[in-house]
Chains A and B, each alone.
Chain A
Amino acid sequence: GQSLEQPSEVTAVEGAIVQINCTYQTSGFYGLSWYQQHDGGAPTFLSYNALDGLEETGRFSSFLSRSDSYGYLLLQELQMKDSASYFCAPRRGNTPLVFGKGTRLSVIA
């Protein structure tokens, strides 16, 4: 079977650091993608981890542990514009992405 879990909502203060966790269970796992979606907008690609460890892209970092079937997205120096939904999506060999319900991040002043 296949499962995907991430928190439904997270609230953090502007300027702070927030971590959004994702646990997955899937066969044929290639890697873990993260997408951001603002209200009324389209999902946009943020990062992809094929290997264990941390990938850094500016204020955003993504981590993967294959042995734990776990990953997280780390957002630093939070800005109000980071308020959005964040989706983790495991990539599998011969199938398109599967998206979970996402985590709604609210950044407050």
Chain B
Amino acid sequence: ETGVTQTPRHLVMGMTNKKSLKCEQHLGHNAMYWYKQSAKKPLELMFVYSLEERVENNSVPSRFSPECPNSSHLFLHLHTLQPEDSALYLCASSPLGRTSGTDTQYFGPGTRLTVL
């Protein structure tokens, strides 16, 4: 399998559930990202990991908790979400890391999350 993969592709959860989104990149990249895409809104950067270290956290509520166990895997743990958290969650990776202005990001297919 190549590129950036995400599982599950679709997730429906209640507000009291705990679930995790998984992202895996097979490109040998050093940086990984979580984005949120809601309808009619720009892509919102949530977290950035560079060489497995979290380097950016854009004021994301604590009900979202990222984990990067190694450079190929990224998780987003979800706990007591709200209906307004329903969105497409996209993972991306880039070769060099966030400090490079020339980096290109490669996106996974996303997880469509619905919070009831």
Contact surface of A with B, Cβ cutoff 8 Å: 28, 30-31, 33, 41-45, 48, 50, 87, 91-102
Contact = CB atoms under 8 A, between A and B. Distances in A.
**Is chain A's interface secondary structure helix, strand, loop, or mixed overall?**
loop
Closest CB pairs A-B (n = 9): A30-B101, A42-B107, A99-B43, A93-B101, A91-B101, A101-B42, A43-B107, A42-B109, A45-B104
18 contacts: A33-B104, A42-B90, A42-B107, A48-B102, A50-B102, A91-B101, A93-B99, A93-B101, A94-B98, A95-B98, A96-B33, A96-B48, A97-B45, A99-B43, A100-B42, A101-B40, A101-B42, A102-B42
B90 A43 contact: yes
Contacts of B106: 45
Q: Is the contact region of chain B dominated by helix, strand, or loop, or is it mixed?
A: loop
B48 A41 contact: no
B20 interface: no
Contacts of B110: 41-42
Interface of B: 4, 33, 40-43, 45, 48, 56, 90, 94, 98-99, 101-110
B42 to A, nearest CB: 5
B33 to A, nearest CB: 6
Given A31-B102, A96-B48, A101-B42, 5 more contacts: A28-B101, A43-B43, A87-B43, A93-B99, A93-B101
Contacts of B104: 33, 45, 48
Contacts of B56: 95-96
